[in-house]
Amino acid sequence: MISCVCRSLACFLLPLSLFGQNRIGTGEVQQLFNQLCASCHGENLEGGLGRSLITEDWIRINSELSFNDYVKQGSVDEGMPPFGDVLSHAQLRSLEIYIQEVRHKAERAGKTLVAESNGVYEAGGYRFRLETMVEGLAIPWSLAFLPDGALLITERSGALRVFREGELLPPVKGTPKVWKHGQGGLLEVALHPDYKDNGWIYIGLTSSGGERDGKAQGMTKVVRGRLQDNQWIDEELIFEVPFEWHRSAGVHFGTRFVFKDGYLFFGIGDRGAMEMAQDLSRPNGKIHRIHDDGRVPKDNPFRAESNAYPTIWAYGNRNPQGLDLHPQTGAIWESEHGPRGGDEINIIEVGNNYGWPVITHGINYNGKPIADATSAPGMEQPKHYWTPSIAVCGIDFYEGDRFPNWKYDLFAGGLASKELHRLQIEGQNVVSDGIILKDVGRVRDVASGPDGYLYVVLNGPDRIVRLVPVD
């Protein structure tokens, strides 16, 4: 039993070493906050002696001074004590995320972010309606536009669907068998940039190479084929990894395609094995580059390294869920699921290490810290991140003319948050993040349509809608 007359802060803090782990959700971080911070900032973070941590902007903590450093060193003149001697890096990280989460909830409570009345929404400087385009789908995942005005839709269960002239056709016959496992299934669909001439349609799916230790194993795979009378024909294998790299986990398959200069770029998530994202001999946790016919480019960045997986273009990615080319700069922008907190928007460049799991702005879902660093030399910082996570999914640059002020803005869907975000970009930076849709469903994908409207793929209820401006 530790007993002490608590006059000094250090004495009061002594039992803290008993907190081996600080896990959000178990009450431990809240307890830590209540013990150390609530006396001045209030149990509900509403402020008291110190400022409210939820309703007021932070002043000292900014791009130069991190939360960790500020709380470590305090601001003695203003009455904020230093905690550097008593809190570990991991404890500080969990406190930061705890505060962000409470702050986020408070911001949302009772506040409608997107105004809606009689089916007219108002956000991002426009008034618009949601026009339901396709219903009767089961977990639609991705969307592509055929030149004749039809939509091509993947359903995670394995069906490729065509929606033409108001009619949802039965599943395309002859598409490859998918491994329906957890987050896996039929995922991405995209047309080759020269589709009009060559008819190639690319799909990303999960496929199982068989069992190991009594468990089915699988991995992300890419094929291309053509469509004729609602039949999948001429299939060619574009990318597949050897069975030894298949894994049993049902998570983090990545995909999403970008075509650029004759190459195909796509991501594979860490497949639930985070440390492998840093292992260049493994295909998971990476962004890959191959020729559009599947050949491995000779000049891929790690090809000269004997052990490296030859298609790797960049690494340290947890679970890439969105990929798009900036229409003006040609840069590849990526969205990536973080853990609890720490969803990211990155610009993918050759050979870069995006840091997972060595650095992250997130923590584990069970509240345990993952990494105690948010930055490190030689590892890229995201262009934008969300804490708490929105469960960021598909992304797309808007290229239409129906919402002129949105042109070349990056739209990003959130599954857990049920939000559609609009990010304004200047050069290489995200300069604003606004919410355009809220609570109309989990936003799986977003796509700028050739008709100039913005299309959104929603799960729950499963449907595809488009945003149509109203005067």
Q: Mind telling me the catalytic residues?
A: 252
| All residues at 6 or more sequence positions from 114 whose CB lies less than 8 Å from its CB, including other chains | 121, 122, 123, 435, 436, 437, 438
Q: Cα separation of 212 and 245, whole Å? A: 11
Q: Are 54 and 103 in contact (CB under 8 A)?
A: yes
CB of 37 to ligand HEC, least distance (A): 3
Which stretch of DSSP H or E encloses residue 464? strand 463-469
| CA distance readout (Å), 238 to 56, 256, 408 | 52, 14, 30
Cβ 362 to ligand HEC shortest distance, Å: 18
CB of 15 to ligand HEC, least distance (A): 15
- Residue 80 or 268: the one with the smaller Cβ distance to ligand HEC is 80
Q: Which is nearer to ligand HEC, 12 or 126 (CB)?
A: 12
Of 183, 188, 186, 162, which Cα lies nearest the Cα of 175? 186
Indicate the residue among 75 and 88 with the shorter CB distance to ligand HEC.
Answer: 75
- Which residue ranges make up the site for ligand HEC (CB under 6 A)? 36-37, 39-41, 49-51, 53, 58-61, 70-71, 75, 78-81, 83, 95
Cβ 108 to ligand HEC shortest distance, Å = 20
The number of angstroms, rounded, from the C-alpha of 339 to the middle of its chain's C-alpha atoms is 9
Tell me 80's DSSP state. Answer: B
Query: What are 44-51's contacts with CB under 8 Å, separation 24+?
Result: 44/102, 45/99, 45/102, 45/103, 45/106, 49/79, 50/79, 50/80
Residue closer to ligand HEC by CB (options 66, 424) is: 66
Nearest to 447 by CA among 285, 231, 257, 199: 257
Q: Which of 73, 92, 102 is nearest to 372 (CA)?
A: 92
Nearest approach, Cβ of 87 to ligand HEC (angstroms)? Answer: 6
Which amino acid is present at 227? L
Judged by beta carbon, residue 7 or residue 196, the one nearer ligand HEC is 7
Pick 33 or 257: Cβ nearer ligand HEC? 33
* H-type alpha helices, 109-247: 195-198
Helix, strand, coil percentages, rounded to 5, for the chain: 15, 35, 50
Kindly state the smallest distance separating residue 53's Cβ from ligand HEC, in Å.
6
Residue 232 · residue 243 · CB < 8 Å: no
